[in-house]
Structure 1
Amino acid sequence: MNGVLYVVATPIGNLDDISRRAIEVLTDVDLVLSEDTRHSKKLLNHLGIQQNYLPCHNWNEDRLKQQVLNKLKTGHNLALISDAGTPLISDPGYRIISFLQQQKIKIVPIPGASALISALCVSGLPTDKFSFFGFLPSNKSSRLKKLQQIKNSNMSCIVYESCHRILESLSDMIDIFGKNHKICIAREMTKLYENIELNELECIYDLIKNNKDQQKGEFTLVISSPKSENEDENERENKNIQIKKFLKIQLKYLPKKDAAKACAEYFKTNKQHCYKIALEL
């Protein structure tokens, strides 16, 4: 009888963020495929688990496929873990999972922490639909192309970035999206110095640039939908044009305050906003 491959999510920072089921699986399997065995041993030693490990990373994944299949074919149960979070999300494992699916091997997810989902949930930005772009390219030209691609999106977009390039990437985002574009930056989530900030790009850039402590750690960035923000701005402009037309007519017959009140009732908008426009006419 074939064994089972368990895809096990591990904590992204706080070691207590691991499920009891994940601990049971990691205890019971015959072998753990891990992105970095040194990192994995620290976690499992913390949990009091002694295990056998097999390194599984981007450079050996293709070579491992048959070896992993042979283990499973002989009835061994295996677990796949990454250094942190849910495996395969900007981490190794896709080629092995794809290969094993074709071989009709049973693969079982053990859900848990995910940096991208955690950041999205606390970002204050729309969560009904989103895109994940992984790590931004280290090359500036490639990064700008990726950001242009994101600019055409009509949903919240999530990217990862390292501490070494965070200021460069934020500067590029200001160039592409504009300094007033909203993003949420989540740094060191679940760790001691966790910081989550929703603000305009220029404010986020200044916050990090002016505080070297804010430049440390791991970053997840949730970018508000560029296309939706542009569409909202266009809607506001069109509405203001209609308000001006309405007020020009009303001001022929009514004082400014009365015209603004009538305008607010007609457009179901703020009376002060209408009055401000009336003063400009």
Structure 2
Amino acid sequence: MHSVERVVVLALDGVYPFELGIPSRIFGAADGRYEVVTCTVDGRPVRTNADFSVAVDHGPEALSTADTVVITAIAPARLVMEPSDELTAALALIRPGTRLVSICTGAFVLAAAGLLDGHRATTHWQVVDEFRRLFPRVSLDPDVLFVDDGSILTSAGAASGIDVCLHILRKDHGSELANKVARRCVVPPLREGGQAQYIEQPVPEPSGTSTAATRAWALARLGDPLTLTDLAGHARMSLRTFARRFNDEVGMSPGRWLIQQRVSRARHLLESSDLSVDQIAGEVGFATGTSLRQHLHAAIGVTPQAYRRTFQATR
């Protein structure tokens, strides 16, 4: 029997309907592990940034019952610079230790309330300069899809709300459930790269080539000692051209991407198999168990043994 976590979504005036629905859609597909409720600061309907309003069944008192609170995106014209008295009172109902999550411009709400001071965070790339000007005490990383800073998680624009919710699922219950939910919602369980790949930039001259096929080829051979030369050779490009095109498409270097994929595969094997750390290291292409330990710790801050204990317990 699994305990049910209560996720409370706070809808503010000017909310984007798409982002508002993400927590309910993702957590609601997680086999009853979460209960999702939506509230407003006064219990009354709020206008969306579309041509309709949203009526809710809960007022701010729901925030006091939350294990996780999600602040969803609001239209830039209604960004919160200083929280209203009503919003301040509503946020004050959140219990200490509650996990806080923002989607897109929802980070402005958390920052305006002082909840992001001293923390790493992200938001939509289009409002990065304004965010930095308003909230200099926040360590903003504009290049990622989401930031997990312990009990506070922030995500970039729109669909990155899906990424952060799936990350929370994976963190709470392991990759098997997260992957199952991703399949149900017909979305990738783990997107590659960061926001850099979505920022407006001059369109490159058409070349008829892409690194996508080489990425698929590499994923099928993670256990091999793949090098940049191997990848470029498969793509039939020079090293320099391949590295540049890969970074443009994925938002990171080929080497960093390979490490990310190997760590992701290692996490799945730690959760789902009884292979030793050394065996898993060999399966995913790390030279030794020590190398796997170092990369896993750099990625998520725990040892393979600790990670395995956590997710064996959740199963």
Please, what TM-score do these two structures have when normalized by structure 2? Answer: 0.27
> Structure 1 length normalisation: TM-score?
0.30
- Between 1 and 2, higher relative CO (CA 8 Å, sep ≥ 6) is seen in 1
| Greater C-alpha Rg | 1
